[in-house]
Amino acid sequence: MHRRHLLQKLRAYAAQFPLEQETCSDYIDFVENEPDCLKRSLQKGHVTASCWILCPERDEVLLTHHRKLGIWIQLGGHLDGGEDVLDAALREAREESGIPDIRPISESLLDLDIHQIPENRKEAAHLHYDARFLFQAGSKNFQISSESLDLAWVPLDRLEDYSDEDSILRMREKQEILISGR
């Protein structure tokens, strides 16, 4: 059921962002052809869920200085078994930020990204098929989890001070599309 729901979101995203056809096609093919795509145990890759969390005023985004990767990125992580990808993103947002009052601005996908995770002492190199959602926090009071070196509310116009990653910068642009309903 959750795979079918994810495929609906992926097809809607593909229609909204036709210039990302290759990424969308690769992601859809993976979900259609891998029954265990939502499980972390699938060694070649798996679906992950992450979130672009805006502050109450919507002029700052919450980023984590990721403990393992050592870079500033959006919050997110793995699905717990067969949970819905939106539910997983919301769970990760709350767990990693300590902010209980986070809600989706939209249930549509904000962004998709497929990226390589390097081999480490626990697992072989594999792909993350990241589904990203747009959320808004009800407060700015966060708590740093064990997965982060730090958290920061970053002004959207200063995002480049924290990251030059295309996948991070494009979420800033896409949030306007999702908020305005274009």
What was the pLDDT predicted at 182? 59
Q: Give the domain ranges of the chain.
A: 2-180
Weakly modelled stretches of the chain, pLDDT under 50: none
What was the pLDDT predicted at 127? 96
What was the pLDDT predicted at 116? 92
What was the pLDDT predicted at 119? 87
What was the pLDDT predicted at 1? 63
Structure pTM?
Answer: 0.94
Say if residues 56 and 139 touch (Cβ distance below 8 Å): yes
Superfamily assignment of 2-180 in CATH? Answer: Nucleoside Triphosphate Pyrophosphohydrolase (3.90.79.10)
